[in-house]
Amino acid sequence: MGKLRTVLARLASAASACLDRLTGRSAKQARLEQRVIAALPGLRDGAHGEELADYDDERLLELLLMAVERERADADRRFFLGLSIMAVVFLLAIGVGTIWRWPGFLGTLAVGGAVTWGLVSQLKRRSREPLLARGIDVVALLSD
């Protein structure tokens, strides 16, 4: 009986994977949806405010999925902003390096990197604050 259950579980898993491939849903998206569904009861208990407790399951699910998509888009924006700033800092470091050689070049890169890191981390914190205030931890939903 145990082997039959194992075989049936594997067949169900394979069928689910085939269905996901046919519908275009990736395994990563399926895991995300499972995490979002698992987070629903935690938001339902009303500890994070009455506003989320009054939502029905479908609306809450859509809210969480939109929050995850927004966080992904914000992460992409932060990455390209940091990359652009560092490209400018690199060009500036080349200019400073022509005058003060290696110490000027490395010092400019270090200061530019620290400023870029501070800016990007501040943007990350500000983009997540409204969601955390409502009790939605997007980082936990995105972690693989």
DSSP string, 57-122: HHHHHHHHHHHHHHHHHHHHHHHHHHHHHHHHHHHHHHHHHHHHHHHHHHHHHHHHHHHHHHHHHH
The model's confidence at residue 144, banded by pLDDT at 50, 70 and 90, is low
Please give the pLDDT value at position 92: 97
Q: What percent of the chain has pLDDT over 70?
A: 73
**Largest alpha-carbon pair distance within the chain?**
79
One-letter amino acid for residue 16 of the chain: S
For 66-121, how does the pLDDT look when each residue is reduced to its tens digit (9 = 90+)?
888 888 899 999 999 999 999 999 999 999 999 999 999 999 999 999 999 999 99
Amino acid at 30: A
> Tokens 């995490």, residue?
35
Of all residues in the chain, what percent are helix, strand and coil, respectively (each to 5)?
Answer: 90, 0, 10
10: pLDDT strictly greater than 60: yes
Say if residue 38's pLDDT is above 80.
Answer: no
Q: What is the pLDDT of residue 50?
A: 59
pLDDT, position 78: 95
